[in-house]
Structures are given as structure tokens and as C-alpha cells.
């Protein structure tokens, strides 16, 4: 098949969706498909397993979005199916113009994300679905209209599937396909005692400030932060103000191999988010045999099981997060039991199985 990918972010952008695009492209190429990509970017892309066209994010939004839709329409005419993981309105316009089928992957509610980005709404995802206001209602209508063009809508968690059923025109189109666990070789080196790792985009929903404040209460623990994003400067200042220089290290954006290496060498990984779908970082941490301390939000409990492969805590509670970190510092036996349960818990989420299912859905939509 000839497949056009429309991701929202691409390396050097940071985050699970940024790693998904190149990784899935490689899988499709290995399976003999032709793949092209159109995405928006701030800088030159650093991963090109296939042809990648970019539209600069520095251009005004109406101009760059129109250009994205135009390029996508041109390439869609040369493709059998389009797979969009963001920019759904552009994907809908492009596939309508090119008369090609669309498969969309939702990792959140795009209307909710936009409302948060524009400062129009500060509540939770569930609350957003019925929140009053003309602007919020308009965002929800636009989201539903764009997604109505998709033949299949893939979501990584049952949590998001339930929410999406409330706003998608035809809920029967929604299918749950979890994020894949990377194929890794377990490290022969023992983990660094009391060293915890966060890996991901430094953005407000990750609520990393909660983790920073929690580590201030656990003097024996250290935190390594792998990733970048709009909140980095504020988080570094917060750590400094809390007197955590030397105990919290910000590594910035790193290649995926380095991210997995850091996760594999950690006592545990941390995820203090106020909102999550089914985070790539949690799946990757478990795959390398590292337990996860996480807030019980969104789809996280679908992969992190309390006292089996990690510890779940109440979101927004510094005290609860600090208590969980302290437990792992004090009880090495507990940490080992959780580590033993980590990799087996994601054994069914192999790259071949998950991407193979996505490939099937693209074939069905494209008639291949």
C-alpha cells in the first residue's frame, strides 16, 4: 500500500507521539509499504526513515494550516490511505479533496487540548465535554466534524474510548489499540539505588511540579528528568528554589535509545500527571523492567497496576507522591517485586502485534 502519515509532532519534537511516527513508519516500510509524511516542525527533522515534508510552525496559524492541508491533499492523491495522529481538520479536508480514506489515532480530545492551549478552559477532560460557553461548544463541533471523515478512529485506552463515544458521530468506528512496548534487551547493570527518572514532554498536564515538590520531602531520592518542553524553565526554577540542585538533573531532549537506557537504569520511573491517556513513557518503563510511580488518572491504571508493577497515587497530592517514593527508598524488596512484574505486564503489547493491528486497519480502510 501507499500510506500517507499526518503526525502532529516529529523528532526532534519530544514525547510519545513524536516517537510513534518514525517507529510506525519503519514498521510499515519493513512490511513493504510505501510511506510519506507531512508534519509541522520548528526545526529540521532529525529522523527520516521515509520522505518527510514539513510546514514551519513559525508561520501564522491560518497560513501554515492551509499549507499543511494543501500538501496533504497533494500527497493523499498518490496514496491509498491516510493515517492522521493530529491535525484532524487538515486531514479531513485533504482526504475529502483527494477522495481517499482516513484512519485517525486519538491520543486525547483535540478540542480539549486546544481549549487548554488557548487558556479557554482549565478543568479536566471529562468536565470539558459538557462545559458551557460558545467558544468551547464551537471547538467541540469542529472536532466532531473533522473526525466524522475518519473510517476508523484508534484510541490507546478504554478510558479515552468511552469519552470519544460521547462525541464521535458513529461510536462503532472507535477501536482500542494500546501503545506498543519497545523491543528491548534487559540491562545487565543493576539499577541506580534511589534514582528515579521522568521521561516525556515538559508540559503542564504532566504536573511535574508535583513530583519536584514530592522529592523535596524524600532527601535520599534523586530525580533525572529526560525531555524538554514549554515548562522546562519554570520547573528548573522550581527545583532550584526548593534547594534540589544536585538532586534533580535536567538532561533535556535525548535520543530514544538514551531515554530507554535512563529508564532501564532507574530505581523506578515517575509520572505525576494531572491528565493522561495511556502514556508511552509508562509502557516503555515497564518494558525495560522498571516499575512506575504514577497518578491514577485517565488510562494509566490500564497499564500500571498498583502493587503489581508500580504504585498508583492520588493526582495532585504531593504528600501521596512523596509517600510512594519513600516506600521504594525504604523497601528494596518491594521495589524488586514490582520490577519483577514490570516486563511481563506489557508482554502482550509487542511492536509486531500492535503495529500489525494498525496495519490491518489501514488495509481495511484502503481496500488493500
pLDDT score of 3:
98
Which one is the CATH code of 2-179+351-366: 3.10.450.50, 3.40.50.2000, 3.90.1150.10, 3.40.640.10? 3.40.50.2000
Q: What are 152-171's pLDDT values in tens digits?
A: 999 999 999 999 999 987 89
Examine domains 2-179+351-366 and 195-345 and report if their fold is the same.
yes
Where residue 187 falls among pLDDT bands split at 50, 70, 90?
low
Q: Which CATH architecture has domain 195-345?
A: 3-Layer(aba) Sandwich (3.40)
Average pLDDT, the chain: 94
What's the pTM?
A: 0.87
Question: Which of the pair, 211 or 108, is modelled with greater confidence?
Answer: 211
Is the pLDDT score of 16 beyond 90? no
Is the pLDDT score of 186 beyond 70? no
Span 94-104, average pLDDT:
97
The 3-state secondary structure of the chain reads: CEEEEECCCCCCCCCHHHHHHHHHHHHHHHCCCEEEEEEEECCCCCCCCCCEEEEECCCCHHHHHHHHHHHHHHHHCCCCEEEECCCHHHHHHHHHHHCCCEEEECCCCHHHHHHHHCCCCCCCHHHHCCCCCHHHHHHHHHHHHHHCCCCEEEECCHHHHHHHCCCCCCHHHEEECCCCECCCCCCCCCCCCCEEEEECCCCHHHCHHHHHHHHCCCCCCEEEEECCCCCHHHHHHHHHHCCCECCEEEEECCCHHHHHHHHHCCCEEEECCCCCCCCHHHHHHHHCCCCEEEECCCCHHHCCCECCCEEEECCCCHHHHHHHHHHHHHCHHHHHHHHHHHHHHCCCCEHHHHHHHHHHHHHHHHCC
Q: What are 227-275's pLDDT values in tens digits?
A: 999 999 999 999 999 999 999 999 999 988 899 999 999 999 999 999 8
Where residue 309 falls among pLDDT bands split at 50, 70, 90?
very high
Question: Which of the pair, 19 or 240, is modelled with greater confidence?
Answer: 240
Q: What are 245-255's pLDDT values in tens digits?
A: 999 999 999 98
Span 81-107, average pLDDT:
96
Domain residue spans in the chain? 2-179+351-366, 195-345
Span 333-340, average pLDDT:
97
Amino acid at each position: 500500500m501507499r500510506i500517507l502519515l499526518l503526525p502532529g509532532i516529529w523528532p526532534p519534537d519530544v514525547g510519545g507521539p513524536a516517537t510513534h511516527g518514525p517507529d510506525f513508519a519503519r514498521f510499515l516500510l519493513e512490511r513493504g509499504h510505501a510511506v510519506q509524511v507531512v508534519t509541522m516542525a520548528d526545526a529540521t527533522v532529525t529522523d527520516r526513515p521515509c520522505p518527510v515534508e514539513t510546514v514551519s510552525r513559525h508561520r501564522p496559524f491560518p497560513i501554515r494550516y492551509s499549507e499543511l492541508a494543501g500538501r496533504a491533499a497533494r500527497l493523499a492523491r498518490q496514496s491509498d490511505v491516510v493515517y492522521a495522529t493530529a491535525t484532524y481538520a487538515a486531514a479531513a479536508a485533504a482526504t475529502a479533496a483527494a477522495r481517499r480514506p482516513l484512519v485517525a489515532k486519538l491520543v486525547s480530545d483535540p478540542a480539549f487540548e486546544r481549549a487548554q492551549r488557548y487558556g479557554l478552559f482549565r478543568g479536566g477532560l471529562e468536565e470539558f465535554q459538557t462545559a458551557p460557553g460558545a467558544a468551547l461548544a464551537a471547538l467541540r463541533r469542529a472536532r466532531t466534524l473533522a473526525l466524522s471523515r475518519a473510517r476508523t478512529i484508534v484510541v490507546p485506552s478504554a478510558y479515552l474510548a468511552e469519552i470519544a463515544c460521547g462525541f464521535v458521530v458513529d461510536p462503532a468506528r472507535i477501536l482500542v489499540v494500546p501503545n506498543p512496548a519497545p523491543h528491548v534487551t534487559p540491562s545487565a547493570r543493576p539499577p541506580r539505588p534511589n534514582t528515579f527518572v521522568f521521561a516525556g514532554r515538559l508540559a503542564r498536564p504532566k504536573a511535574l511540579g508535583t513530583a519536584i515538590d514530592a522529592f523535596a520531602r524524600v532527601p535520599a531520592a534523586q530525580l533525572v528528568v529526560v525531555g524538554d518542553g514549554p515548562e522546562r524553565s519554570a520547573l528548573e526554577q522550581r527545583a532550584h528554589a526548593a534547594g534540589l540542585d544536585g538532586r534533580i538533573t535536567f538532561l533535556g531532549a535525548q535520543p530514544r535509545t538514551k531515554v530507554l537506557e535512563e529508564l532501564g537504569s532507574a530505581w523506578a520511573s515517575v509520572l505525576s500527571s494531572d491528565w493522561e491517556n495511556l502514556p508511552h513513557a509508562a509502557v516503555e518503563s515497564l518494558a525495560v523492567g522498571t516499575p512506575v510511580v504514577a497518578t491514577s488518572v485517565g488510562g494509566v491504571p490500564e497499564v500500571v497496576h498498583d502493587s503489581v508493577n508500580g504504585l498508583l497515587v492520588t493526582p495532585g497530592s504531593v504528600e501521596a507522591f512523596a509517600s510512594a517514593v519513600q516506600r521504594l527508598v525504604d523497601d528494596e524488596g518491594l521495589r524488586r517485586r514490582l520490577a519483577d512484574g514490570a516486563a511481563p505486564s506489557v508482554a502482550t503489547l509487542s511492536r509486531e502485534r500492535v503495529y500489525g493491528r494498525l496495519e490491518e486497519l489501514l488495509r481495511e480502510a484502503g481496500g488493500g
